[in-house]
Amino acid sequence: MDTIASEGIWDMQTRDGVGRHTRVRVIKIGGSVLTDKKTFKLNYHVAERVAGEIAAAIEKGIKVGIVLGGGSYGHVAASNARSLEAPPADALSLVTMYMLELALAVADILASKGVKPVIYPPHSFCNPEGLMPRCNWSYIRRDMELGITPVVYGDVYACGKDWCIVSGDELAIEMACSIGSSSVIYITDVDGVIAADGKIIDEIHVDELEHGNVANREASDKVDVTGGIRRKLDAIKLNKCPAVREIIVTNGLREGNTYAALMGYGCGTRIIL
């Protein structure tokens, strides 16, 4: 991973070496929020509202890095390519095309709210190894200095003679480490991490997610080619850094939650890293 710039908004080192820059946020918007269950269809009403809340936070001085989940665009396309045993070139072309289509649609909505988005396709600036994206984030840091809001997304890339997936969860953690965000916000379709008794957990350590009394709330009618909860936890552990202290899980289908999370107000579950 490339090093953090030593000046400007990216100077996030303190005496204890921990990131303290509280005006930078990384937000990972889940595909279940952005898209509906129908193949390749954007949930425009929700996307517009979430974009408006992001714009409102930016107006308050928050710098935001956005990561998009695949939803019914990327996951379905990748699943179909796998099940049909499509040649690697066909799969790469198909999935990257649909994910770029999703990113363009979201960027257009963000721009309509006054945000200045730029799309960065991960396959063009990342060299993943396993669950580590290994991206060159220096371009994004440079552009954010000018007021750009970067948009990246779960993507596919050539790996050997096959194709592999780099998920939005992996990208979000590494992005936060590189641009100086002390937290990663997961915008989902649930109110937070749900305990086995059905109640929302206010705060939990990441290790407790594996060993604690936590319900696995992954809907069976959703296609997820990235490995579900198990891969999310592995991605967090492999890509976390001292500067990133927490993950906030909140429900983006509820009005105001995205803005509240970006502004640092309590909503959903706080996962301590």
How many CB atoms are closer than 10 A to CB 140?
21
Q: How far apart are CA 74 and CA 209, in angstroms?
A: 27
Judged by DSSP in three states, 162 sits in strand
Q: Judge whether residue 140 has pLDDT over 70.
A: yes
Lowest mean pLDDT, pick from 34-38, 140-144, 158-162: 34-38
Spatial neighbors of 269 by CB under 8 A, at least 6 apart, are 192, 193, 200, 201, 202, 203, 204, 248, 249, 250
Quick one: average pLDDT of 143-150? 96
pLDDT tens-digit readout, 226-262? 445 666 777 788 788 888 999 999 999 999 999 999 9
- For 116, 165, 229, 270, the CA distances from 205, given in Å and listed in that order, are 35, 27, 15, 8
pLDDT tens-digit readout, 64-80? 999 999 888 887 888 88
Quick one: average pLDDT of 120-129? 93
Mean residue pLDDT of the chain comes to: 84
- For 11, 17, 86, 180, the CA distances from 7, given in Å and listed in that order, are 5, 15, 47, 12
pLDDT tens-digit readout, 28-57? 999 989 998 777 789 999 999 999 999 999
List the domains of the chain with CATH numbers.
19-272 (3.40.1160.10)
pLDDT tens-digit readout, 193-235? 888 788 888 888 888 876 665 665 544 345 444 445 666 777 7
Residue 240: the pLDDT is 82
How many percent of the chain have pLDDT more than 90? 54
Q: Judge whether residue 155 has pLDDT over 80.
A: yes
Residue 207: the pLDDT is 83
Residue 209: the pLDDT is 76
